């Protein structure tokens, strides 16, 4: 009798283990999200597709991110990324927030609702022609896209980056884009370090005055 009870307990434990394993696998294999948002004047639109697949096992999965940008019905740019490194941050971190902060300014980032400060990035077009689009990357998970910046035009971006209490926070800033005539430009700003959350906003000036 006791042998039968032990056998029954073993069977129950095995069934429970298999069930939990199946649930974990399902969570990794069937993740997807689609985001589509239009600018306030309905001129621009962003479409974001995120997929997670687990073809090899419970710990192995591949993330795929695709971002498409439209002006009217015309796709003006597309971006794709893939991540299979389980020790890297998820690509999803960079699209926790997808919003239009101006009629021609798209902002994407991780959730920053608990951040204590905003920094200030000024982008100026000093060229004699309009800039079709400017991509600005700030830190690891914060990006902006500015469309149709006229000659002499200026916009102020206000990212809310992360902060490390040990004083080691540094902020990478890179940018690039194309002009109305198809010329390209790009640049990287020198990183700055915030020693305390009470230091006030860091300020950067991005001046578009040369093109290749």
CATH 3.10.20.30 fits 32-208, yes or no: no
Q: Which residues contact 63 (CB under 8 A, 6 or more apart)?
A: 50, 51, 52, 82, 83, 84, 90, 91, 92
- Residue 163: the pLDDT is 62
pLDDT at 111: 84
Residues 6+ apart with CB under 8 A from 67: 46, 47, 48, 49, 78, 79, 80, 95, 108
**What are the residues facing 50 on neighbouring strands?**
33, 65
| CA 102, 108, 114, 120 torsion-angle sign | negative
Among 198, 101, 199, 103, which Cα is nearest to 159's?
A: 101
pLDDT digits (tens, 9 = 90+) for 166-194: 655 566 789 999 999 999 999 998 767 76
Q: How many CB atoms lie within 10 A of CB 99?
A: 11
Q: Are 46 and 36 in contact (CB under 8 A)?
A: yes
Rg (CA), the chain: 23
pLDDT at residue number 176 = 95
pLDDT at 62: 86
212 residues of the chain, pLDDT tens digit each: 444 433 434 333 333 343 334 434 434 444 778 999 999 999 999 999 998 886 655 556 788 999 999 999 999 999 998 888 777 778 888 889 999 999 999 999 988 776 666 889 999 999 999 999 999 998 778 899 999 999 999 999 998 876 666 655 566 789 999 999 999 999 998 767 767 767 777 889 999 987 55
pLDDT tens column, 129-152: 999 999 999 877 889 999 999 999
CA–CA distance, 120 with 21 (Å, rounded to integer) = 47
Which runs of consecutive H residues, i.e. helices, occur in the chain?
A: 2-29
Give residue limits of the domains in the chain. Answer: 32-208
Q: What is the pLDDT of residue 132?
A: 96
CB contact set of 78 (below 8 Å; sequence gap of 6+): 66, 67, 68, 69
* Structure token digits, residue 68: 């498409």
What local confidence, expressed as pLDDT, does residue 115 receive? 65
Looking at residue 145, its pLDDT comes to: 97
How many other C-beta atoms lie within 10 A of the C-beta of residue 40?
10
């Amino acid at each position: 009798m006791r042998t039968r009870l032990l056998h029954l307990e073993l069977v129950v434990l095995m069934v429970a283990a298999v069930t939990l394993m199946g649930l974990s696998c399902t969570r990794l294999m069937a993740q997807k999200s689609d985001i589509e948002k239009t600018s306030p004047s309905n001129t621009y639109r962003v479409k974001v597709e995120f997929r997670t697949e687990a073809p090899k096992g419970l710990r192995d999965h591949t993330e795929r991110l695709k971002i498409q940008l439209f002006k009217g019905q015309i796709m003006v740019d597309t971006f794709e990324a893939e991540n299979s490194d389980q020790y890297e941050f998820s690509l999803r971190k960079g699209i926790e927030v997808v919003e239009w902060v101006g009629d021609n300014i798209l902002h994407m980032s991780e959730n920053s609702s608990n951040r204590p400060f905003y920094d200030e990035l000024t982008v100026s077009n000093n060229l004699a022609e309009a800039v079709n689009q400017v991509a600005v990357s700030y830190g690891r998970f914060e990006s902006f896209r500015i469309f149709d910046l006229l000659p002499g035009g200026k916009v102020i971006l206000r990212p809310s980056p992360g902060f490390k209490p040990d004083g080691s926070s540094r902020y990478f800033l890179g940018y690039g884009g194309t002009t109305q005539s198809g010329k390209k430009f790009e640049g990287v700003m020198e990183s700055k370090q915030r020693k305390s959350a009470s230091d006030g906003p860091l300020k950067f000036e991005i001046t578009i005055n040369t093109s290749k």
